[in-house]
């Protein structure tokens, strides 16, 4: 299956360290050689890079490692194709507009019966179960919430709805999700996702998939908060927290602001 990587931070932060380890799994230390992509929300804007070739050999991936794009939210995906051809149109992350904002999405897993999910405003460009599920998901959110939520109660209603929709998709198979709207990062676990939050006092971290160690104390301030989410932990000397199946985490500025699963609402 594919692998996922995301970051949420309270200050503009580059993801070069984590991405360096992650890209090696795309045809190097891992079998995910069928394309990769990465998206950044920065300074009120959005940009992404996608490539249907293995990330470990991609000049564009090397550019990302050497070009420290600083953002509050980043989402990345390396693909091991199971539904849909290996081509750019099927390469994650996918994006659509809703409420005047760019929504970014990546999925790890495989669904059955996804063709029966009804579509409305949003339609797939490629032919993957992942993109079809994304279009259905946004359609459902837009139908039930035509305007951007205002106020804490409205946002929490939206997040509960998102959790129910993710649970429905989990009922169709494996559905590990990364989703973002520029303010919030959403991570949903069906089978496997882990996260780590780095804050003062910062220490050293060593990648599992590449010979690289960073002392974060040399690159941060005492007020920085940076959280990273990945399918598998990216470092060998830090303690990552495994998400539970059916758990949705809502992240903002590096912190978890809401949590939903089958047994709790907030």
Catalytic residue annotation: 2
Backbone phi and psi for residue 148, each to the nearest 5 degrees, phi listed first: -60, 135
Q: Sign of dihedral through CA atoms 55, 56, 57, 59? A: positive
Q: Structure tokens of 183?
A: 């303010």
Closest CA to 78 of 130, 144, 34: 34
Residue written as tokens 């837009």? 142
Tokens 């005047």 appear where? 100
Q: By the 8 A CB rule, do 4 and 76 touch? A: yes
Q: How far is CA 218 from CA 193, 200, 202, 214, 221, in A?
A: 28, 12, 9, 8, 8
Distance CA 244, CA 234 (A): 18
| Contact assessment for residue 188 and residue 166, using Cβ atoms and an 8 Å cutoff | yes
């Amino acid at each position: 299956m594919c692998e996922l990587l995301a970051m949420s931070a309270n200050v503009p932060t580059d993801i070069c360290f984590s991405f360096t380890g992650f890209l090696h799994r795309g045809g190097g230390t891992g079998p995910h050689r069928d394309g990769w992509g990465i998206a950044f929300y920065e300074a009120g804007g959005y940009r992404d890079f996608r490539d249907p070739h293995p990330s470990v050999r991609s000049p564009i991936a090397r550019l990302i490692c050497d070009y420290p794009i600083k953002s509050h939210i980043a989402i990345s995906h390396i693909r091991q194709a199971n539904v849909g051809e290996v081509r750019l149109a099927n390469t994650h992350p996918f994006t659509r507009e809703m409420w005047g904002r760019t929504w970014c999405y990546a999925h790890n897993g495989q669904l059955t019966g996804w063709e029966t999910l009804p579509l409305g405003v949003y339609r797939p460009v490629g032919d993957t179960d992942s993109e079809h599920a994304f279009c259905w998901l946004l359609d459902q959110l837009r139908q039930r919430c035509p305007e951007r939520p205002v106020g804490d109660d409205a946002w929490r209603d939206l997040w509960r709805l998102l959790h129910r929709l993710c649970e429905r998709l989990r009922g169709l198979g494996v559905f590990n999700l990364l989703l973002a709207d520029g303010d919030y990062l959403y991570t949903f676990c069906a089978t496997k996702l882990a996260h780590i939050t780095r804050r003062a006092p910062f220490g050293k971290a060593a990648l599992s998939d590449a010979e690289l160690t960073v002392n974060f104390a040399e690159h941060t301030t005492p007020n920085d908060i940076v959280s990273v989410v990945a399918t598998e932990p990216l470092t060998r000397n830090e303690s990552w927290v495994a998400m539970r199946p059916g758990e949705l985490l809502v992240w903002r500025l590096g912190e978890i602001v809401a949590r939903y699963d089958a047994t709790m609402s907030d």
